[in-house]
Amino acid sequence: MRALSGKVSVALLAVLLLSACGTQGRDTPAAAPASSKPRVAAPSVDVGLCGSADAGQVGTQSGLGAVTLVSSDALLCRWEARDGSSVTFRWFRGSPIDQYHSDTATSVKRDGVDIVGRSGYSWRGAHSCEAAVPTGDADFIAWTVDSAAATPDAACAAVDRLASATLAKG
């Protein structure tokens, strides 16, 4: 009885394998031919640590005066003024700018921006502004100025100056 049961199991397995192999290719769409030339991403601009900016440049270009670097690493730097105002630089590596643009809160006013020939985005708050500009196909930078004393227009002019200076050095 065991021998018969084993033979039936083997036969059933063979039928299943053959039927699976037999349907392959009939209902499966053909794979699209591979492109002859792979898409090569545009190289990213090397913007340096903190967007290649120091506290003096950030204070002057932001209009905040004296600022102190309170946090820095390869991707994020933050400066603060005595009145609580701040400037933040972020470098997004391997992140498409369009994804960041779509993830931003919808309650913030968004505009297109062109900084040294690069199309990006600008977000305005009551006393703040952020500009994000691509540095390559998959990287971008963002400068943010947040100041209780600044109007959105002044804050946006400041981030434009900061982003322009960063891209000019890259």
Q: What is the pLDDT of residues 99-139, one digit of tens each?
A: 666 555 544 556 788 888 898 989 888 889 999 999 988 89
From the number of C-beta atoms within 10 Å of its C-beta (0-12, 13-18, 19+), residue 128 rates as: buried
What are 162's two structure tokens? 């900061």
Instruction: Quote the pLDDT of residue 5.
Output: 45
**CA triplet 108, 93, 159: central angle to 5 degrees?**
45
Instruction: Quote the pLDDT of residue 164.
Output: 94
Whether residue 143 is contained in a domain is answered as yes
Whether residue 106 is contained in a domain is answered as yes
Owning domain of residue 138: 49-169
125 or 87, which is more confident: 87
The CATH number covering residue 105 comes to 3.40.1000
Residue 17, SS3 per DSSP: helix
Whether residue 63 is contained in a domain is answered as yes
